[in-house]
Amino acid sequence: MWRFGVVVLLLASTLSHGQEKLSQHDYKQLKKAFDLIEASQTQAAKQQLLSASDKVTSPYAKALVWQNLGQLELRAERHRTALKYLQKAHVLEALPATQQSNLLKTIAQLHCMAEQWSACSTKLSRWIKRAGKQVRGDDHLLLAQAYSQQEKWRSVLPSIRAAIATRKVAPRSWYQLETGAQIRLKRWAAAAKAQQRLVRIYPKRSADWRQLTALQLQAGQSKAALATQRMGFERGLLTQGKDYRQLAQMLLSQGAPYKAGEVLERGLKRGSLKGTARELTLLSQSWQLAKEKHKAIAALAQLQKVTPSAKNLARIAQLQIDLEQWRSAQRTLSAALKSAKGDDRASLQLLLGITQVKLEQFVLARNALKAAADYPSVSGSAKSWLRYLEQVAPNEQLAVAG
Summarize pLDDT for 3-32 with one digit per residue, the tens: 444 344 434 445 555 555 788 999 998 999
d(CA 319, CA 298): 11
Alpha helices (H) in 166-292, listed in sequence order: 172-184, 188-201, 206-218, 222-234, 241-253, 257-270, 277-289
Cα three-residue angle 191-194-197, rounded to 5 degrees: 150
d(CA 11, CA 24): 17
SS in 3 state form for 150-184? Answer: CCCHHHHHHHHHHHHHCCCCCCHHHHHHHHHHHHH
1-114: which CATH topology? 1.25.40
Cα three-residue angle 314-359-312, rounded to 5 degrees: 10
Taking residues 210-218, report their average pLDDT. 98
The pTM of the full predicted model, rounded to 2 decimals, is: 0.82
Summarize pLDDT for 325-346 with one digit per residue, the tens: 999 999 999 999 999 887 889 9
pLDDT at residue 360 is higher than 60 = yes
Residue 372 amino acid letter: A
d(CA 157, CA 147): 9
